[in-house]
Amino acid sequence: MSEKRFVEQIRDSARRLDRDAFIWKTNDRFSLGIPDLWIITRGRLFAIEAKFCAHWDESSSRPLLSHKFSGTQISILRQIRRAGGLSCGAIQVEPSTAFILDPNDIPPGGNFNAEEVAKVSLRASRDNGVWNLEDWMTYLVFSPVRKMDAGSNLVD
State the pairing for strand pair 86-94/44-52. parallel
Domain map of the chain by residue range? Answer: 3-141
Fold of the CATH domain 3-141 = Trna Endonuclease; Chain: A, domain 1 (3.40.1350)
The predicted-structure confidence for 34-90, as pLDDT tens digits, reads as follows 999 999 998 999 999 999 998 899 988 999 999 999 999 999 999 999 999 999 999
Q: In whole angstroms, what is the distance from residue 42 CA to residue 146 CA?
A: 24
Using a cut of 0.85, tell me whether the model's pTM lies above it: yes
The predicted-structure confidence for 93-142, as pLDDT tens digits, reads as follows 999 999 999 999 999 999 999 999 999 999 999 999 999 999 999 999 88
Q: Can you give the three-state secondary structure of 11-72, one letter per residue?
A: HHHHHHHCCCCEEEECCCCCCCCCCCEEEEECCEEEEEEEEECCCCCCCCCCCCCCCCCCHH
